[in-house]
């Protein structure tokens, strides 16, 4: 069935370092890959997304890369700041375009 695997489940970095979160998906027909950030007690919010016709997308300190052949995509955060601390979810579009989410990564940025 449709599945998205996300790693690592927790990630701790020093302020200013980079953080990388990786996801793999099972449905080769998936063509939309968003990333959501959920701060403690708040709703998930979209931070960046990528479509299957693009290999990389960047928005200031965050970037996403996609390898359709290998069916994996990654989130890269550079120059991390304490306010980047949150739970991050990847997702892939499944049948009829519904979103299938990964298990989440708790990122802690230490000052």
CB of 42 to another protein, least distance (A): 7
Residue 72 neighbours by CB under 8 Å, 6+ apart: 22, 23, 24, 25, 66
Q: Which of 8, 17, 18, 42 binds another protein (CB under 8 A)?
A: 42
Q: Which of 51, 58, 61, 110 binds another protein (CB under 8 A)?
A: 51
Q: Which of 85, 102, 107, 109 binds another protein (CB under 8 A)?
A: 102
How far is C-alpha 74 from the geometric centre of its chain's CA atoms?
Answer: 6
Return phi, psi of residue 30, to 5°: -60, 135
Q: How many CA atoms lie within 13 A of 24 on its CB side?
A: 6
Q: Taking CB under 8 A as the rule, which mask of x and - marks residues 2-41 in contact with another protein?
A: --x-x--x---------------------xx-x-x-----
């Amino acid at each position: 069935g449709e599945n998205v695997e996300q790693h690592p489940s927790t990630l701790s970095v020093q302020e200013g370092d980079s953080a990388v979160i990786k996801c793999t998906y099972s449905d080769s027909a998936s063509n939309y890959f968003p990333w959501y950030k959920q701060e403690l007690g708040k709703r998930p919010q979209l931070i960046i997304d990528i479509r299957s016709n693009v290999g990389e997308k960047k928005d200031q300190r965050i970037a996403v890369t996609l390898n359709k052949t290998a069916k994996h995509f990654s989130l890269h955060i550079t120059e991390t700041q304490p306010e980047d601390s949150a739970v991050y979810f990847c997702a892939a579009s499944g049948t009829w375009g519904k979103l299938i989410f990964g298990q989440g990564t708790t990122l802690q940025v230490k000052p």
